């Protein structure tokens, strides 16, 4: 004995899925069209830096152009050592060394 079901099919579900896909596609198309300007090209993103950001960017550029070593200072120290005039403050040196040690 075979059982037959009438009125039951997955046709409604398939149609519903197809309709959802078409709606999704039409929404995407509408979104793309709304981003197109009157001239027919896509809108461009723009960035505007604040005054603080511009100042920081300028300072970073200036710093990057500076040399890594102050050769004038190096030359002064070399000459002072050669002339026997360079004095080392041992207390300051010890204090700096102990403060560096506390960082680790």
Alpha-carbon distance values, 76 to 66, 72, 81, 82, 92 (Å): 19, 6, 9, 10, 20
pLDDT in tens, 4-17: 555 555 544 456 66
DSSP designation for 50: -
Please give the pLDDT value at position 30: 55
* Centroid of chain to Cα 56: 15
- Between 70 and 19, whose confidence is greater? 70
- How many whole angstroms separate alpha carbon 78 and alpha carbon 60? 30
Spell out the alpha helix ranges (H) of the chain: 11-35, 51-65, 71-83, 90-102
- How many whole angstroms separate alpha carbon 37 and alpha carbon 43? 6
Partnered with residue 36 across adjacent β-strands are 42
**Average pLDDT rounded to a whole number, residues 37-58:** 78
* pLDDT band per the 50, 70, 90 thresholds, residue 94: very high
């Amino acid at each position: 004995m075979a059982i037959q079901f009438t009125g039951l099919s997955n046709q409604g579900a398939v149609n519903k899925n197809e309709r959802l896909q078409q709606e999704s596609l039409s929404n995407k198309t509408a979104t793309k069209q709304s981003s197109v300007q009157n001239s027919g090209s896509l809108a461009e993103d723009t960035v505007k830096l604040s005054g603080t950001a511009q100042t920081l960017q300028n300072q970073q550029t200036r710093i990057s152009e500076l040399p890594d070593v102050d050769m004038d200072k190096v030359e002064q120290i070399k000459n002072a050592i050669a002339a026997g005039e360079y004095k080392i403050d041992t207390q300051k040196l010890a204090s700096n060394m102990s403060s560096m040690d506390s960082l680790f």
